[in-house]
Amino acid sequence: MDLEILHSTVRISTPLILAALGGLLTYQAGMLNIALDGFMIVAAFTGVAMAYFSGSLVVAILAAVGASMLLAALMALFNIWFRAHIFIAGTAVTFLAYGLTALLLKGIFGQDALFTSDAIPTFTTIVVPVIAGIPVLSQIFSGHTILVYVAYLLVPVVAWALYRTRWGLRLRVVGEAPEAAATAGVNVDGVKFQAMLLSGLFCGLAGAYLSLAYVTLFSKEMTHERGLIALAAIFFARGSPYLTTVVALLFGAATALSVTLPQVTGLAPQLLQMIPYVVTVLALVAVGWQSTRARNKHRAWRFDLS
Amino acid sequence: MSAEAPGALASRRGLLDWLAPAIQPTIALVISAIVGGLLVLAMGQDPLQIYGVLISGSLVGVPNLMVTLQMTTPLLFTGLAVSIAFRAGLWNIGVEGQLLVGAFFAGLVGWLAPLPTFLHVPLTLIAAMAGGALWAAIPAFLRIKLNVNELVVCLMLNPIALLLTGFFAIHVFKAPGPTNKLPDVLETAILPQFSLFSQANWGVFIALGCCAIFTVVNNATIRGFEWKIMGLNPTFAYYGGIDVPRRALWAMLISGAVAGLGGAEEVMGVYGAFFDNFSPGYGFDGIAVAMLANFNPIGVVAAAGLFGALDSGGAVLQMTTGSSKYLVEVLQFLTVLILAARFSWEWLRAGGRGQPTRRAVGVINEPEPHPTAEEA
Amino acid sequence: MSADSTPVVRLRDIAKRFGSFVAIQSASMDIGGGEIHALVGENGAGKSTLMNILYGLLQRSDGEIDFDGRPVSFASPREAIAAGIGMVHQHFKLAPSFTVSENIILGAEPLKSLDRVDMARADEETRRLSERFGLNLDPRAIISTLPVGLRQRVEILKALYRDARILILDEPTAVLTPQETRELFVTMRRLADGGHSIIFITHKLQEVLAAADHISVMRQGRVVATIDNEGVTAQEIARLMVGRPVLLRVAKTQARPDEKPTLEVKGLTALGDRGETAVDDLSLTLRAGEIVGLAGVQGNGQDELVQCIAGLRLPVSGNLSISGKPLGRTPRDNRAAGLAYIPADRGAVGLSLQSSIWENLTVGHLDEFSSGPFFAAARARRKAAQLIGRFDVRGAEPDKLAGSLSGGNQQKVQIARELTRNAAVVIAEQPSQGVDIGAIEQIHRILVEMRDARKSVFVISADLDEIFSISDRILVIYRGRIVVDLRAEATTPEEVGRYMGGLHEASSTGGNAS
């Protein structure tokens, strides 16, 4: 198999992994955050715009993350304090973001579909010291831009924060048993707000990566539902950081293959692109079946989800 | 226990209540119009001029009205579909996928079955309803039998529908030549268009007919009454003898069928064939329309009309001035976001302290989807 | 008896009002160090309210609380916890997939650098505390794998971890097996010997005698007595708990029930929501033309019993039938079989508060207003207006929301709906809860009319006044079983109170009546 595919997989999966890291923090806090695409798209736009105007990638990334976190704060405001149902708020925020970025694309850059420019600074690829010497590994793992390495390095950081720190413990208890957390004195709304902001941060990095490193342009709805795929990975892995990353990698591989494999074999790309979603539905069915069997059949009749 | 603070829930039904459902959406619209205006200003344009074009471009003159009509029609279907489900207490956000599957079935039957018009059209429509209902059956069964969160399943099924129908359209049943569509639908399955100005077609009568049917269903049939009651309090409904799981299943299936009809209208009336990825998000716009309409079929007509006008005006805006039609999307979803906030005036007056009282908006006060919920 | 003579906690003339409703008129209690203090009373006597005030969940309207001799006022549980008071509620607040020590340390976690939780130290402290008080908990055990008795110990340990000197236990034995109850008492004694003060709220008189050093009895918002547990009999406690002249008796003629049974429950066993055995091989019979009252402190299986009869809960085993025909599994079937059920939980089960009154009145009667698939809404509205008049539902119009009515009028709506069907068996659950006096009289009169119309009326109530006022026959439920079946004129509130407290072995007949 061509090593180029594996190299691509690493690149393609980077925004998935970043978005999934952010999404799983909100998942662990008990929130079904479907606005990941929205966060990413505003970050992607802001990144390109600020890179173009300031000429500095650092400024661009900071601005992208800031924009994404701002949107996340809006989401938190409506869901946590105004009690908007998280799904409606998430859908609204996402499409709001799509519309806003397309509007600004036209308004600021005068473009209808796509903006790019040679004036946008690009990332340099990094040659990893030791790995670059090893034949196969170097072709897969070396020569990526910095955000790729940041993404993969963040995975153990998130896992550590979630399972080793006080903050992570409180977050996870808020997600599973908010009443237990509240009576223990934990500020439940505050924790959820932090989780949402952090998902904005990670999606900010993902969006900046998309428009500045993966490609160097902004186009409408360029996230291509990566947020949804990231969410699928989270559900499949039940929010555990390492497993989510592996699943996100696999989903990324499926996406990479869906581009190259059809060229070679003539197999339809749609079938490969469906994999993340189909697999997730099957996983949900399995979990549902398991929990239905384990549930107390003799409890009072209810029609809610539990 | 009994209800404390009856003031929070008390409202005298009557004349005032005919207006009440329109008050909250109007406020939301006004707020988003203001915010949108500020955005426009920030980009160096004149909001009044922009809004003027939106209005005139959608409503002034027959050609504009026909385009508005065309853009309103699919929203009638999807808004109604979402409303049917939500009113019965189910979160059917898979309308986008159900629309696509319905459209695909219509595209197939419309192309493959050589029948006289008076048979072909109904058959194609029925096929579309079956497709939509089939796609809705998946989350419905999973919810009712296995307690799987229908929200998440619908979310995943939308892209699956897009990819599956795309697969069949491009790789299996493709029309000859460099296209991404099924072969054209036969003449006998076409819904005639009204004019040359737009692709508005007789499908709008089907849509309006559905809205009328469901107005009757909601207000004058047993099923409609049962759906309304279980949407507000499923335990009470069950206690009162209503077969809640079964009614819920049918609400989802019918919701999917209506969404499928929307797909049929696009295939049989607008495009004349099933095109891969033809929907610019009608399903999600349907959610917005339904919320604006407070899940009421008559309200759906008004809300779909409003959104259709905005879309149509936006297109004119894009063509005549240099502005982007995406301003419209911003306005639409900002309105939805504001509408989604659930708090009462009492809470606001108290400075936002304490628990905001949850007001039912026709949807049951369902607990939030809780990914890691377990029983203690 | 404890060695400490100065009270650790002193409650003086505490009063609590909710608007015009007086929950506690005047309550005074002294809790000494190292003592086990039982707080007993019927439902609604004010026990939980009093303890919630001590714990900072509620604010008192009057009176003073002294802690270690100094006046205090706890605005929230956090302050009470800081002062050294811990409370274990009936419904545990635990995170099921986390370990014992994680649940215990939450909110007061031992830390290493960088905000890392020092789990080793947490586990160690948990183990240490657990051993010191004989609780024998494995710090690494996952909560969801633990039986209820051990989960309760986790809650206790939570309080001890925060250096609670005073532990309030609210009906701690409600979900425990007899064995677990014995172990709990051993734990309590050990804690008391170590200087802790334990206040436990209960209605089970045998437990009081077995475990308490001192007993405070509350009745109708007052602490009527505080006695030492030496040579006290259960009869005395029961008399203090319920003893009062029976005031209200609805005027009714002598009951002449039919011979043949209507509702028959045979060997019913059902589980509660937490998996515990709630109804335990229970049997009872109702006949036409009588009112049977089911007395019992809430939590002894009444809710689950009624839910099984009504079709809202699936029993584990047993037979239910009306006039010989087996009852179906769903409320729809049971309505068709002739059952009318007026639930206690009006907001969640019996009514839809966000729907209008006519809609609430029409649910369950849809057949009357249907022709084919169509629904005669106008006719239903008119019928609703009639019912509102007939049952004197105050402040109601057909289109007003049910949530705008007062408790008593909501109850009347439920009654208007349920009793205008041709039901053979009427089950009324806590009919006077949250209802004003005038409405109570009306409701009781209506129930008597039902009885005179040859229906079977089954009233489940935690209010002994109501039971005595209206019943022809009184059953007492305790721990999921019917422990006695008495004729109302042939018994007294004290006797019934004894059975409610679980002292059926000590009844005047001398035999067991379980």
Q: What CATH number is attached to the domain comprising B191? A: 1.10.3470
Backbone angles phi, psi at C94, to 5 degrees: -125, 155
| Cβ neighbours of B376 in C, within 8 Å | 92, 94, 96, 143-144, 274
Pairing of strands A218-219, A114-115: antiparallel
pLDDT of residue B17: 56
| Cβ neighbours of C279 in A, within 8 Å | none
Same domain, C281 and C393: no
Contacts A–B by Cβ distance under 8 A: 205
Same domain, C251 and C235: no
Q: Which of A112-126, A163-177, B261-275 comes out lowest in average pLDDT?
A: A112-126
| Cβ neighbours of A164 in C, within 8 Å | 116-117
> What is the maximum span of chain C, computed from C-alpha positions, in angstroms?
79
**Domain containing residue B58:** 20-344
Among A224, A275, A278, A284, smallest CA distance to A251 is for: A275
Q: How far is CA C328 from CA A204, C282, C312, C316, C368, in A?
A: 57, 18, 11, 14, 21
Q: Calculate Rg over the CA atoms of chain B.
A: 22
Nearest beta carbon to residue C93 from set A165, A183, A299:
A183
**C117 contacts A165? CB cut-off 8 A:** yes
Distance from CA of A281 to the nearest CA of B (A): 6
| Helices and strands counted in chain B (H then E) | 15, 0
pLDDT of residue C395: 82
**Is the alpha carbon torsion for A207, A212, A215, A216 positive or negative?**
positive
CA gap B291, B294 in Å, rounded: 5
Indicate whether C12 belongs to any domain.
Answer: yes
Which is more confidently placed, B207 or C226? B207
Per-residue pLDDT of chain C (514 residues; tens, 9 = 90+): 444 567 889 999 999 998 878 889 899 999 998 999 999 987 778 888 899 999 988 899 999 999 988 899 898 888 899 999 999 988 889 999 999 999 999 988 999 988 899 999 999 999 999 998 888 899 999 999 998 889 999 999 999 999 999 999 998 987 788 888 888 999 999 999 999 999 999 888 888 888 999 999 998 888 988 889 888 887 788 888 876 655 556 777 777 888 889 999 999 999 988 778 899 999 999 999 999 999 988 889 999 999 999 999 999 999 999 988 999 889 999 998 999 999 999 988 999 998 999 999 999 899 889 888 999 999 999 999 999 999 888 888 898 999 888 888 899 999 999 988 889 999 999 998 888 777 888 889 899 999 999 999 999 998 888 898 899 999 999 989 999 999 988 888 888 888 888 876 544 333 333 2
CB-based contacts of A58: which residues, under 8 Å, 6+ apart? none
Indicate whether B166 belongs to any domain.
Answer: yes
Q: Which helix (H) or strand (E) holds C319?
A: strand C317-322
What torsion do the CA atoms of C437, C442, C446, C448 make, to the nearest 10 degrees? 60
Sort residue A110 into left (φ over 0), alpha (ψ -120 to 50) or beta. Answer: left
pLDDT of residue B358: 42
Same domain, C328 and C468: yes
Same domain, C171 and C280: no
- Let me know the angle formed at the C-alpha of A123 by A118 and A127, rounded to the nearest 5 degrees: 140
| Cβ neighbours of B88 in C, within 8 Å | none
**C410 contacts B2? CB cut-off 8 A:** yes
pLDDT of residue C216: 93
- Interface partners of chain A (CB pairs < 8 Å, 3 or more) are B, C
Distance from CA of A295 to the nearest CA of C (A): 10
Please determine, for residue A50, whether its predicted confidence score (pLDDT) is greater than 90: yes
Whether the CB-CB separation of A109 and A213 falls below 8 Å is answered with no
Pairing of strands C456-461, C425-429: parallel
- The ranges assigned to domains in chain A are 3-227
Per-residue pLDDT of A151-160, as tens digits, reads 999 999 999 9
Neighbours of B55 (CB within 10 A): 14
CB burial of residue B235 (10 Å; 0-12, 13-18, 19+): buried
**C96 contacts A176? CB cut-off 8 A:** yes
**A298 contacts C93? CB cut-off 8 A:** no
Indicate whether C296 belongs to any domain.
Answer: yes
pLDDT of residue B167: 93
Q: Which of C116, C151, C170, C303 to mutate to test the interface with A (most CBs of A within 10 A)?
A: C116
Q: Which of A13-22, B349-358, C363-372, C498-507 comes out lowest in average pLDDT?
A: B349-358
**B287 contacts A91? CB cut-off 8 A:** yes
Q: What CATH number is attached to the domain comprising C234? A: 3.40.50.300
CA gap A109, A116 in Å, rounded: 9
The owner of tokens 């049997």 is C283
Indicate whether C95 belongs to any domain.
Answer: yes
C352 touches chain B (CB under 8 A): yes
Q: Which of B1, B2, B15, B235 to mutate to test the interface with C (most CBs of C within 10 A)?
A: B2
pLDDT of residue C245: 58
For every residue of C242-288, DSSP letters joined together read H-S--------PPP---SSEEEEEEEEEEE-TTS-EEEEEEEEEEET
**C354 contacts B232? CB cut-off 8 A:** yes
Q: Which helix (H) or strand (E) holds A221?
A: none
Indicate whether C2 belongs to any domain.
Answer: no
Whether the CB-CB separation of C497 and C464 falls below 8 Å is answered with yes
Please determine, for residue A192, whether its predicted confidence score (pLDDT) is greater than 90: yes
CA gap A196, A79 in Å, rounded: 10
Number of domains in chain B: 1
Indicate whether B350 belongs to any domain.
Answer: no
**Is the alpha carbon torsion for C297, C299, C302, C303 positive or negative?**
positive
Whether the CB-CB separation of B101 and B134 falls below 8 Å is answered with yes
Single out the residue in C209, C242, C275 at which a domain terminates: C242
Same domain, C182 and C210: yes
**B167 contacts A270? CB cut-off 8 A:** yes
Q: Region B176-180: what's the mean pLDDT?
A: 86
Same domain, C78 and C187: yes
CA gap B311, B325 in Å, rounded: 8
pLDDT of residue C485: 94
Whether the CB-CB separation of A40 and A207 falls below 8 Å is answered with yes
**C117 contacts A298? CB cut-off 8 A:** no
Q: Region A172-178: what's the mean pLDDT?
A: 95
Same domain, C123 and C56: yes
Q: Which of B148, B157, B339 to mutate to test the interface with A (most CBs of A within 10 A)?
A: B148
Nearest beta carbon to residue A299 from set C78, C114, C273:
C273
| Cβ neighbours of A78 in B, within 8 Å | 337, 340-341
Indicate whether B168 belongs to any domain.
Answer: yes
Whether the CB-CB separation of C342 and C414 falls below 8 Å is answered with yes
Per-residue pLDDT of A242-281, as tens digits, reads 999 999 999 988 888 887 777 777 778 888 889 999 999 9
Name the pLDDT band for B343 (thresholds 50, 70, 90). Answer: low
Indicate whether B373 belongs to any domain.
Answer: no
Same domain, C429 and C322: yes
Q: Determine what percent of chain A is predicted with pLDDT higher than 90.
A: 58
Please determine, for residue B70, whether its predicted confidence score (pLDDT) is greater than 60: yes
Nearest beta carbon to residue A176 from set C95, C114, C316:
C95
pLDDT of residue C317: 94
C7: β partners: C32
The owner of tokens 């419309």 is B110
B219 touches chain C (CB under 8 A): yes
CA gap A19, A216 in Å, rounded: 19
**A271 contacts B244? CB cut-off 8 A:** no
Per-residue pLDDT of A56-74, as tens digits, reads 999 999 999 999 999 999 9
Pairing of strands C85-88, C7-18: unpaired
Tell me which amino acid residue C175 is. Answer: V
Q: Taking CA atoms, what residue in B is nearest to A295? A: B375
CA gap C189, C195 in Å, rounded: 10
Residue C387, both tokens = 């019912």
pLDDT of residue C265: 95
Per-residue pLDDT of B248-289, as tens digits, reads 999 999 999 999 999 999 999 999 999 999 999 999 999 999
Same domain, C31 and C94: yes
Residues of A with CB under 8 A from a CB of C: 164-167, 169-170, 172-173, 176-177, 179-181, 183-186, 296-301
| Cβ neighbours of C364 in B, within 8 Å | 240-241
Q: Determine what percent of chain B is predicted with pLDDT higher than 70.
A: 85
| Cβ neighbours of B164 in A, within 8 Å | 270, 274
Whether the CB-CB separation of A206 and A43 falls below 8 Å is answered with yes
**Domain containing residue C45:** 7-242
Q: Region B196-221: what's the mean pLDDT?
A: 94
Same domain, C191 and C299: no
pLDDT of residue B20: 67
SS3 of residue C352 by DSSP: coil
- Interface partners of chain C (CB pairs < 8 Å, 3 or more) are A, B
Indicate whether B271 belongs to any domain.
Answer: yes
Indicate whether B366 belongs to any domain.
Answer: no
Same domain, C321 and C233: no
Number of domains in chain C: 3
Indicate whether B11 belongs to any domain.
Answer: no
CB-based contacts of C314: which residues, under 8 Å, 6+ apart? A297, A298, C270, C308, C329
CA gap B363, B232 in Å, rounded: 6
Same domain, C188 and C45: yes
Half-sphere exposure (Cβ direction) of B33: Cα atoms closer than 13 Å: 13
Distance from CA of A182 to the nearest CA of C (A): 9
Per-residue pLDDT of C316-351, as tens digits, reads 999 999 988 999 889 999 998 999 999 999 988 999
Indicate whether C344 belongs to any domain.
Answer: no
ipTM given for this complex: 0.90
Please determine, for residue B7, whether its predicted confidence score (pLDDT) is greater than 70: no
Single out the residue in C194, C211, C242 at which a domain terminates: C242
Whether the CB-CB separation of C42 and C464 falls below 8 Å is answered with yes
Indicate whether B86 belongs to any domain.
Answer: yes
pLDDT of residue C427: 96
